[in-house]
Structure 1
């Protein structure tokens, strides 16, 4: 009988390593997917004097979140395990706070996105710490995502810094 939960031939990856990696990177997939969806909501509804700059920056953040979700998901799948990026699963499992519905001024929109990035960084930093002993390549994935999130956070926060 074939094991439909694994796609890599048995023996090429230690199953315990793959399961450990999946434990940490799957949460990143979930949170990056949620950030991309929430970011698009914010992108459509942001209002204010610097609208064009913030509107375009949010699209960059969304693109990055999608890329990072894909990067983390592909690492898990490369190790032979599935990921669950379905919207209902993402909504149930994400740790990031929600985005307000409707129109919002730039300061509110940025504060919400920064809070979402901060919440997602908790799981990313946990992954960095835990994956160091488990799988260096997977730790590199988490480190890359951390660097990018911190940069996106900086760019967003700079629009409302006093």
Structure 2
């Protein structure tokens, strides 16, 4: 438990919010690595457009991780940004695609974003009553991540608005459907 915290937040509430933020920090660090992995491994038609579309997402996600780590420190807690922290906090599967087509990676990334955004929204609900400042940070991050998710989905959508990944339950299934 923190020995100090931000004014107006009890040490118990600071620990609760910090624990939520730590899981999100690990998720952001993992998302950053996943996006960079995709950036390095995407091939085929539209390679350069998608390769270059991913870089701003990587940079934004890295910045979001820094914001959450600093928020944890503001509460008097110690943010963990190691690979071991990601593994410890992980409730999701590791990204499975290696070198693959643009469509396959975008199909898999669609599901990554679905899971990530859903978890970020859960965190918003978790901290909202305790700390509206942290809630606001998470809301802002979610809005931008939803925009990036839209960018990904625009590549997977047909003229009727149907996603090629509709109904997929795993990244591999989404990749197969998107090919």
What TM-score comes out, normalization by structure 2 length?
0.80
Q: Quick one: distance in 1 between partners of 2:6 and 2:37?
A: 42
> 1:134 aligned to 2:130?
yes
Q: Quick one: distance in 2 between partners of 1:11 and 1:62?
A: 33
Q: Quick one: distance in 1 between partners of 2:58 and 2:46?
A: 18
Q: Quick one: distance in 2 between partners of 1:135 and 1:110?
A: 35
Q: Quick one: distance in 1 between partners of 2:92 and 2:104?
A: 16
Q: How does 1:52-131 map to 2 (within 5 A)?
A: 52-131=48-127
After superposition, the Cα gap between the structure-2 partners of 1:79 and 1:9, relative to the gap in structure 1 and judged at 3 Å, is closer
Matched residue count: 158
**Unaligned 5+ residue runs, structure 2?**
159-179
1:152 CA displacement? 0.8
The answer to whether the 8 Å contact 1:6/1:80 transfers is: yes
The answer to whether the 8 Å contact 1:34/1:91 transfers is: no
Greater Cα shift, 30-39 or 6-15? 6-15
Greater Cα shift, 49-58 or 114-123? 114-123
The answer to whether the 8 Å contact 1:110/1:156 transfers is: yes
1:96 CA displacement? 3.6
Q: Quick one: distance in 2 between partners of 1:81 and 1:135?
A: 15
**Unaligned 5+ residue runs, structure 1?**
none
In structure 1, the partner of 2:139 is: 143
Q: Quick one: distance in 2 between partners of 1:19 and 1:51?
A: 44
* Structure 1 runs of 4+ with >3 Å offset: 5-13
1:119 CA displacement? 1.3
Larger RCO, structure (CA 8 Å, separation 6 or more): 1
Q: How big is the alpha-carbon RMSD for the aligned residues of Structure 1 and Structure 2? A: 2.0
The answer to whether the 8 Å contact 1:95/1:119 transfers is: no
CA deviations over 1:61-103 (Å, ceiling 9, x no partner): 1112111111111111111111211012203322343223531
What TM-score comes out, normalization by structure 1 length?
0.88
